[in-house]
Amino acid sequence: MEASSQEQEPELVPATLGDSLKSFILQIPRAIVHFFRRGVRSVVEGARSSMRRISAFVRNPSDSVREAWHQLRREMDSLSWVQLIGVLGVFGLFLIAPLLSVVYSAFVDTSTGLPTLEHFVNLFADTNFWPWQYDPETGTWTDSTHLDVIQTGGDLMRIQGWDLGAVLNSIYVAIIVTILSVMLGVFFAFIIARYDFPGKSIVRTILIFPILATPFVGAVGIKRFLNARGFFNNLFYATLHWIPYRIELRGLAAIIFIQSLSLFSLVYLNAYSSLMSIDPSLEEQAENLGAKGFTLFRTITWPLAMPGIQAGAILTFILSIEDLGTPIVYYDDLQAQKTLAYQVFDSIATQSGAIDPKGPAIGLILLTFALIGFMIIRKYTSLRSYESGSKGGQWNPRTRRISPMATILLYALLIPVLFLALIPQISVIVLSFADHWSTNSILPDAWTLDNYSVLWEYENVAQSINLTLIYGAIATVMIVLLGTSAAYLIARRDIPGKTALDLLVTSPIALPGIVIATGYFTLFYNTFLFPPGGPAFLITMSYTVRKFPFTVRAAYAGLLSTPVVLEEASMSVGATRNQTFFKITMPLIGVSVLAGSLLSFVYSVSEVSTSLILGSVGREQAPMTFWTNEVLNATGQYGGYFNAACLGVLMMALQMIVITITNKILGARSSAITGI
């Protein structure tokens, strides 16, 4: 029987691979419905739970306060109080207060100080935001939507998105990007997690590349490669004559394409982590009961992997709706300007510190979408579930080796998709070495290294690189101090409000940076914290708050893998809690903290929204991402695509080095840091 089973294996594997891919495609519509239904349900359940706790407190506040105080006195010592006050102080002043300032500015008339809905009324009376308008005088509705997706003229086919106004444009773009990212991310995760084939390790490494952030320049590279006279059209239309038209992506269609290629890696990382953490015995038991192929995937594998897939999908939705770099690259296209993130940026950047009242109103809409998404994330991937997902099990993963023919078919599908996914990175590198690129050439006509002189010869750029490294280093030190403190309180102290603290320190990863930057203007501008022309301090604090979750997540995972008995043994021989924390706990979790701090640093230096908005009123103190945009739009010796691409290559190299080091340090636990 054993020999017979082994002889049949090569015939079964290709069929199983095909069934699995078929089942994945068939599951997408059902997963989308399930995704939103469970998401809404989780938000409602969370709201009800909060209301019950508030109601219990209101009915008997004195007992609740007394019980909380006794619990605090029992759990806290001097070090813990310092840690708690430090974390709450920084987040209260540089996250909560700015967000509340945005809410206040959205609902208050700045001239009278009275509550008003006028900002929202004016917002939705603008056809750029809401295309359906009612005229009370004539009693008629006007429709300003533009639904022509494909336009042709001569040898050019232009593809753009539906124009439904900035509000609905942002929503449907984020939904489509999320669907495409889920399809790509889960497909790659399933192939890598469940099948062995030659070159698998190379494919797995390449799949990390799309997550490398190249603000503006990645979108510029795609724009240059895929425009009417770009690489693809010159190759497939002008040279090979494989397509009947030059195809050009414009407006929202281009944004969807660029975001999908950039964000699917988030879904891949989370889906892969979930698939690898599935206990093989669960699938084996289902197989013993007769479940095979599609049935096994639909009833066992897919549901068990769903938490990671949903977490990656929701975060993709949030990052898509707050994306600012891509619309800025396509600013010359009116449709691309009709997104919420671009409108917030435009309402601030064009005012040199003065804020158009519509800015906070739009920011509040963005914040609402982000908070709803984040509450759904918390339903499935809190810090605790993160730890359980990242540790995995003590088992060998279920993998099958596919036949040579199936391998060829797989690579025939993988290579084109991977090439498309790597277009942002490939295009940035090619542009950085291009000396001249005529519109009818497939590749640059001449190559040069002189473009890289912008990094040291252009004084503003060289200074911005130094300032960015300084901002990132200072922010990282603060993140390490506060992040380890927050993680220690959550993991080792049973204090009231621990869940709220957990929520607070992990929320910045899902909150739009552009809304936080708007809050800095409404709250701090023209004060000693944010003097005109001096945004350096708030840039550093924005990096601290925005990139905080990477380190706190790493420190928390390290604490969970560190036995509490070691700390108890230290205190049992006379060491104080403070001595135990610094001499026992910190050395034990030092590797995890180091890895998390490296990622916090590299994502700080590539921060876009706050860097752009805060840097716009203090160019001498502006960071590298601000000057990347300036070089991109400048003319002369140090302006244009080629020089800006050099800054993108520098940023990519820095990120790749740090992510590689992090993976080496953490090994299998790195998915808890690089994934969401």
Res 57: pLDDT? 58
d(CA 585, CA 241): 65
Q: Which pLDDT band holds residue 18 (cuts at 50, 70, 90)?
A: low
- Of 424 and 561, the structure prediction assigns the larger pLDDT to 424
Res 96: pLDDT? 92
d(CA 343, CA 362): 8
Backbone angles phi, psi at 248, to 5 degrees: -130, 130
Longest dimension (CA), the chain: 86
Q: Tell me 244's DSSP state.
A: S
d(CA 323, CA 326): 7
The yes-or-no verdict on residue 357 having pLDDT over 80 is no
392: left (phi over 0), alpha (psi -120 to 50) or beta: left
SS3 156: strand
d(CA 70, CA 591): 35
**Cβ contacts of 289 within 8 Å, gap of 6 or more:** none
- Of 598 and 18, the structure prediction assigns the larger pLDDT to 598
Q: Tell me 314's DSSP state.
A: H
Average pLDDT of the residues in 615-634: 87
Res 92: pLDDT? 93
d(CA 152, CA 145): 19
Average pLDDT of the residues in 219-237: 82
Determine the residue type at 191. Answer: I
DSSP per-residue letters across 270-298: HHHHHHHTS-HHHHHHHHHTT--HHHHII
Backbone angles phi, psi at 126, to 5 degrees: -90, 125
Res 6: pLDDT? 40
d(CA 608, CA 324): 8
Res 676: pLDDT? 35
The yes-or-no verdict on residue 650 having pLDDT over 50 is yes
623: nearest Cα among 455, 456, 461: 461
Q: Which two tokens stand for residue 191?
A: 């192939």
Percent of the chain with pLDDT over 90: 10
Q: Residue-wise over 243-275: b if at least 16 C-beta within 10 A, else e?
A: eebbbbbbbbbbbbbbbbbbbbbbbbbbbbbbb
Angle between helix 548-560 and 536-546 (nearest 10) = 40
User: Minimum mean pLDDT among 4-18, 130-144, 377-391, 659-673: which range?
Assistant: 4-18
Percent of the chain with pLDDT over 70: 82
Query: Which among 15-24, 40-49, 183-192, 280-289 has the top mean pLDDT?
Result: 183-192
- Of 386 and 642, the structure prediction assigns the larger pLDDT to 642
- The mean predicted confidence, pLDDT, of the chain is 79
| pLDDT (tens digit per residue) in 149-196 | 887 777 888 888 888 888 889 989 998 999 999 888 888 888 888 888
| pLDDT (tens digit per residue) in 478-529 | 999 998 888 888 888 878 878 788 888 888 877 888 888 888 988 888 889 9
Determine the residue type at 10. Answer: P
The yes-or-no verdict on residue 471 having pLDDT over 70 is yes
Average pLDDT of the residues in 215-234: 78
| pLDDT (tens digit per residue) in 547-586 | 888 788 778 877 877 778 888 888 888 887 778 888 888 8
Q: Which pLDDT band holds residue 256 (cuts at 50, 70, 90)?
A: very high
The yes-or-no verdict on residue 76 having pLDDT over 90 is no
The yes-or-no verdict on residue 675 having pLDDT over 60 is no
SS3 157: strand
CB 227 within 8 A of CB 173: no
383: nearest Cα among 269, 190, 554, 260: 554
Res 55: pLDDT? 67
Q: Quick one: CA dihedral 215, 221, 222, 223, positive or negative?
A: positive
The yes-or-no verdict on residue 349 having pLDDT over 90 is no
d(CA 425, CA 649): 8
CB 160 within 8 A of CB 142: no
Average pLDDT of the residues in 202-211: 80
User: Minimum mean pLDDT among 393-407, 417-431, 579-593: which range?
Assistant: 393-407
Res 466: pLDDT? 92
Determine the residue type at 230. Answer: G
Res 14: pLDDT? 37
256: nearest Cα among 300, 197, 302, 317: 317
The yes-or-no verdict on residue 393 having pLDDT over 50 is no
Res 90: pLDDT? 93
Res 53: pLDDT? 64
d(CA 436, CA 595): 41
Q: Tell me 351's DSSP state.
A: T
Res 215: pLDDT? 65
Res 673: pLDDT? 44
Q: Which pLDDT band holds residue 463 (cuts at 50, 70, 90)?
A: very high
Average pLDDT of the residues in 605-626: 87
Residue with tokens 């090994």: 667
Q: Which two tokens stand for residue 618?
A: 């203090």
360: nearest Cα among 26, 616, 42, 119: 119
User: Minimum mean pLDDT among 118-127, 484-493, 666-675: which range?
Assistant: 666-675
Res 52: pLDDT? 67
- Kindly report the pTM of this predicted structure: 0.79
Q: Which two tokens stand for residue 157?
A: 């086919």
609: nearest Cα among 356, 281, 358, 327: 327
The yes-or-no verdict on residue 671 having pLDDT over 50 is no
Structural domains of the chain, ranges and CATH numbers in brackets: 72-108+158-674 (1.10.3720.10)
